[in-house]
Amino acid sequence: VPDVDVFGALANPVRRQVLEALRDGPLAAGELAGRFELSRPAVSEHLAVLRHAGLITEEPRGRHRYYHLAADPLAEVYDWLHPFERYWRSRLGALRDFAESADFAPEKAGSAPEKGAPAPEKAALAPEKSEEEPL
C-alpha cells in the first residue's frame, strides 16, 4: 500500500473535501466539479492523485466515470499514530548514539577517569554525522 501517497494526497484541502463528498456514495467527475466550483481539468488532477494513492477507485458507467471511496488506505490513515511511533524510535536511537558517543563527555558523566583534566564542555559536541532524517 503506497502510504506515502496517502498522506501527500490528504495534504490538499480540496482532495479531503472530495473524499468527504464520496463518503455518501460514488459520484461522477462532473458532479464533483460542480460541487467544488473547479474546472474539470483541476478536478481530474485531484482525482488522479487520490486514485494514485489508492484512496478512490474509478468505475466506468456508460459515458461517465464514477469515483468510489476506497476503504483500505483510509484505515491506514486512521492508524496515523504509527508513523509517530517509528519517528520516536528513531529519535531515541539518535539520542542514545549521541549520548554514548565519545565526543559527548560532560563533566557530570561520573566516570571521568582523570579528575585533573579539564572536563570537556558541551562545546565538544559530536558533529552531526548520521542524521539521515532531516527532522
Residues of the shown chain interacting with other proteins in the complex, contacts defined by CB under 8 A: 3-4, 6-8, 10-12, 16, 19-20, 77-81, 83-100, 104, 106, 108-111, 122-123, 125-126, 128, 132-135
Residue type, 104: F
DSSP annotation of 117 reads: S
Q: Which is nearer to other proteins, 57 or 80 (CB)?
A: 80
What is the secondary structure of 40-87 as a DSSP string?
HHHHHHHHHHHHHTTSEEEEEETTEEEEEE-HHHHHHHHTTHHHHHHH
Closest distance of CB 61 from other proteins, Å: 26
Which position has the grid cell 474546472? 39
Q: Which is nearer to other proteins, 20 or 59 (CB)?
A: 20
Q: Which is nearer to other proteins, 4 or 117 (CB)?
A: 4
